[in-house]
Amino acid sequence: MAINLAKGQKIDLRKTSGETLTNFCVGVNWGAIEKKTLFGLSKSVQNIDLDLSCVLVDDQNNICDHLYSPLYRVEILQQFGLPKGKLLTSDGAMKHTGDDLEGDKGGDDGLDNEIITVDLNKLNSNVSQIFFFLNNAGSEDFSQIPYAKIRMYEGTPTRVQSVFADYNVSAEGQYGGKRSIIMGKLYKRNGEWKFSAIGDPTEDTFLGQTIHRIMKSYL
């Protein structure tokens, strides 16, 4: 059975068998905005382009690597002191599947829209925290987006073998005006990796703002 996380909950990466989870996928799934039109006879569908990203932080609280879309404009990233986006960490331990520009239509299809694969055994030893977050490339806020889910599972980007844990952020009024969410983090404590469900929405309109917020308030 998967662990259904609540906001602020922290868990060990230990399976029921007693083994530690070291090679897994972190996937995020979200829904497009669907509204019924006149008399409910038809509906309109609005694509939602969320971007799953992560930053890796070392034991000196400095960013030592990152994964985010290469489509972000370099000149804007440079304004925040950030390098060009990429889909593979320098140590090869983490890989991003790339952009999904639409979100689920017709309800949750059970598949993740964007996925980052993780191999903790390959991760540089100086990495102590990995933050996962979502930014909306459009103008919609998270009170309009039906759901955004993050889950950790064993398998591949195209095949789920066993879900270890999941965390669901459903559309709520408190998310009005919020266009990004810091979903959660992997962190190392006493040599063991754990996961914390953060789920904090922010008004950030660009990835660079979210990264600065993480470095200022979440370390």
- What is the tens place of the pLDDT at every residue in 145-159? 888 899 999 999 989
The number of C-alpha atoms within 13 Å of 142 and in the hemisphere containing its C-beta is: 27
Answer yes or no: are the C-beta atoms of 214 and 54 closer than 8 Å: no
Q: Among all chains, which residue has been given the structure tokens 């660079």?
A: 208
> Which two structure tokens, joined as six digits, stand for 99?
């952009």
pLDDT at 118: 98
- What is the tens place of the pLDDT at every residue in 75-84? 999 999 999 9
- Spatial separation of the C-alpha atoms in residues 174 and 53, rounded to whole Å: 23
Per-residue pLDDT band at 5 (split at 50, 70, 90): very high
CATH of 11-151+172-217, one of 2.40.100.20, 3.40.50.1820, 3.90.420.10, 2.60.60.30: 2.60.60.30
Per-residue pLDDT band at 39 (split at 50, 70, 90): low
- What is the tens place of the pLDDT at every residue in 81-114? 999 999 999 999 999 999 887 788 877 777 899 9
Domain boundaries, given as residue ranges, for the chain:
11-151+172-217
CA distances from 38 to 33, 107, 148 (A): 16, 20, 27
- Spatial separation of the C-alpha atoms in residues 31 and 145, rounded to whole Å: 6
- What is the tens place of the pLDDT at every residue in 165-199? 999 888 788 888 999 999 999 999 999 999 999 99
DSSP-assigned letter for residue 88: B
For residue 215, give the H/E element and its range.
helix 207-217
> Which two structure tokens, joined as six digits, stand for 175?
């998310």
- Spatial separation of the C-alpha atoms in residues 144 and 210, rounded to whole Å: 20
Answer yes or no: are the C-beta atoms of 122 and 92 closer than 8 Å: yes
Query: Percent of the chain, pLDDT > 90?
Result: 71
CB within 8 Å of 3: residues ≥ 6 apart: 11, 164, 165, 166
